[in-house]
């Protein structure tokens, strides 16, 4: 290492040597300068930073004294092993611990993971090449703030055919994920809005409402989805729901509750429903359930969906369909913001949808996830009635209920000790959970290879030491 670039300020009360010491120490702790690395010589660094060699000398001596670096005669200064320094362990930033943790996880049952084996790489590559071409220079320019019109046209016809959503391309806003669109919707609905949120529910909603100091009221969820009648006891004006596949319990909002929810919204002019239809493409049993937006008669549903499940979470493309009344307000308040999705990705996706590859991909993936779910269900059936499943009609995760005296945290820790990551229902709950209830685990299976499912589940149950008694 010949140089180290740090911004040292000459006009502050902190001496230069101390600033340099702090910068190098920080870089060693956060792993930017790795163990064993050789620091620049005092002469080189002094020239590079345009400060005196004595300043470097002071900083290096302090780092040597504290054990961050060692001085080797005629060789130079080397970064030491941090683990030998108890002090550093305490200060070690989260990022270093996360990296270490990732290394030891061999099976991750995250509900956010998708199958990566069946992605149509060649088609995606072909369309990328066609887009990144100097005859198509327009993609270099900023497009429409709501996203390219042609892509919004594709989405509106796809939504109508597959989800019964009725909208024009003008009502659609593209964003780089549900997590980017939600704050926008919150701003659009104004400070007076009070939100009902499903409990347990999508953690993003809990965080968003807390961060924005927006009022939110947890609404319980049972086997028929959100208990809509509870809304009447609150002063909520907007209800966020995942009706097709409640996140994370997997419940489907029953027909009665759907009409109850719409009636609730119609009772006052300022009431809205945010329908998050995040994984509705993957429904395996029964007839498809139409979206709430499709049966809404009074423009009270804000429909949200994403390509994170249907294509890939890293694409970062989601969309909101706003009722006409809100789209006017949106245009007035927000149209000076540029679209948050790169045009290159928008154009590749447009081609992918227009050519029929998206529909084909969905059909293929539905079969793959259905197969994975069947294997999950079959493997877990061996442990019935100790372990039972719910929420298995759709999506890429299920809910496990485990009859054991072990607590949820214990189950997570036992799995973790054998390199398996699982997610407890408590992570998705606002407030307290009944203490005597059986532990529940949200088990994502989308990212586990089909052939590895039985062994992964068996390894999990083994880690829990809850074998069925013969």
Ligand X SMILES: Cc1ncc(COP(=O)(O)O)c(C=O)c1O
Does the footprint of ligand X cover residue 68 (CB under 6 A)? no
Minimum distance of ligand X from residue 221's CB (angstroms): 12
Residue from the set 214, 242, 347, 430 that interacts with ligand X by CB under 6 A:
242
Place of tokens 């499912």: 453
3-state secondary structure of 312: coil
Minimum Å gap between C-beta 114 and ligand X is: 10
Query: Based on CB atoms, which residue is closest to ligand X, 195 or 247?
Result: 247
62 or 154: CB nearest ligand X: 154
Give just the sign of the alpha carbon dihedral 19, 23, 29, 30: positive
C-alpha span between 397 and 211 (Å, rounded): 27
306 binds ligand X (CB under 6 A): yes
Q: Residue 382 burial by CB count (10 A; 0-12/13-18/19+): exposed, middle or buried?
A: middle
**Nearest approach, Cβ of residue 395 and ligand X (Å):** 9
Among 115, 148, 275, 276, binds ligand X (CB under 6 A): 276
Residue whose CB is nearest to ligand X in the complex, by number: 177
Would you call 385 helix, strand, or coil by DSSP? coil
Residue among 278 and 423 whose Cβ is closer to ligand X: 278
Near ligand X by CB under 6 A: residue from 77, 202, 303, 428: 202
Contact partners, residue 335, CB within 8 Å, separation at least 6: 145, 146
C-alpha–C-alpha distance, residues 108 and 244, integer Å: 25
Decide: residue 183, CB within 10 A, 0-12 exposed, 13-18 middle, 19+ buried. Answer: middle
Is the backbone peptide bond immediately before 248 cis, with ω within 30 degrees of 0? yes
Closer Cβ to ligand X, 274 or 387, answer by number: 274
Q: Which of 26, 67, 112, 447 binds ligand X (CB under 6 A)?
A: 112
Nearest approach in angstroms of CB 262 to ligand X is 20
Binder of ligand X out of 19, 260, 293, 308 (CB under 6 A) = 308
| Residue 399 CA, distance from chain mean position | 18
Q: Which residues pair with 219 in a beta bridge?
A: 198
**Binding map of ligand X across residues 154-193, x = CB under 6 A, - = no contact:** -----------------------xxx--------------
Contacts for 323 with CB less than 8 Å, ≥ 6 apart: 171, 272, 299, 300, 301, 302
**Residues lying near ligand X in the complex (CB under 6 A):** 112, 177-179, 202, 242, 247, 276, 278, 306, 308, 313, 318
């Amino acid at each position: 290492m010949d140089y180290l670039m740090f911004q040292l300020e000459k006009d502050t009360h902190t001496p230069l040597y101390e600033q340099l010491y702090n910068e190098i120490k920080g870089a060693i702790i956060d792993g930017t300068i790795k163990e064993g690395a050789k620091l620049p010589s005092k002469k080189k660094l002094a020239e590079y930073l345009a400060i005196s060699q004595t300043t470097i000398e002071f900083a290096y001596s302090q780092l040597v004294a504290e054990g961050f670096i060692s001085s080797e005669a005629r060789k130079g200064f080397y970064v030491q092993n941090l683990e030998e320094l108890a002090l550093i362990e305490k200060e070690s930033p989260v990022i270093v611990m996360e990296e270490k943790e990732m290394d030891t996880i061999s099976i991750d049952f995250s509900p956010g993971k998708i199958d990566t084996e069946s992605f149509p790489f060649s088609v995606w590559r072909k369309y990328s090449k066609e887009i990144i071409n100097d005859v198509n220079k327009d993609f270099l320019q900023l497009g429409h703030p709501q996203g390219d019109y042609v892509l919004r046209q594709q989405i509106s016809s796809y939504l109508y055919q597959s989800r019964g959503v009725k909208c024009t391309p003008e009502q659609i806003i593209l964003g780089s994920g549900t997590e980017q669109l939600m704050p926008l919707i919150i701003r659009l609905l104004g400070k007076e809005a009070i939100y009902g949120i499903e409990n347990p529910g999508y953690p993003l909603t809990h965080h968003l409402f807390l961060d924005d100091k927006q009022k939110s009221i947890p609404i319980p969820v049972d086997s028929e989805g959100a208990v809509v009648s509870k809304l009447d006891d609150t002063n909520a004006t907007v209800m966020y729901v995942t009706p097709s596949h409640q996140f994370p319990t997997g419940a489907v909002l029953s027909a009665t509750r759907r009409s109850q929810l719409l009636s609730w919204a119609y009772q006052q002019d300022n009431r809205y429903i945010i329908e998050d239809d995040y994984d509705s493409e993957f429904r395996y049993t029964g007839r498809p359930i139409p979206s709430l937006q499709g049966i809404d008669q009074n423009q009270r549903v804000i429909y949200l969906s994403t390509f994170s499940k249907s294509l890939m979470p890293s694409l970062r493309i989601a969309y909101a369909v706003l009722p006409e009344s809100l789209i006017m307000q949106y245009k007035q308040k927000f149209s000076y913001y540029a679209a948050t999705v790169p045009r290159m990705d928008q154009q590749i996706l447009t081609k992918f949808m227009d050519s029929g590859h998206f529909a084909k991909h969905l059909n293929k993936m539905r079969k793959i996830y259905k197969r994975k779910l069947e294997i999950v269900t079959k493997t877990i059936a061996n442990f019935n009635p100790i372990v039972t499943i719910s929420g298995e009609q759709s999506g890429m995760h299920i809910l496990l209920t485990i009859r054991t005296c072990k607590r949820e945290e214990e189950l997570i820790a036992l799995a973790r000790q054998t390199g398996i990551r699982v997610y407890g229902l408590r992570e998705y709950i606002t407030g307290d959970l009944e203490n005597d209830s059986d532990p529940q685990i949200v088990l994502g299976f989308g990212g586990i290879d089909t052939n590895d499912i039985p062994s992964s589940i068996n390894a999990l149950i083994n880690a829990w030491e809850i074998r069925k008694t013969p």
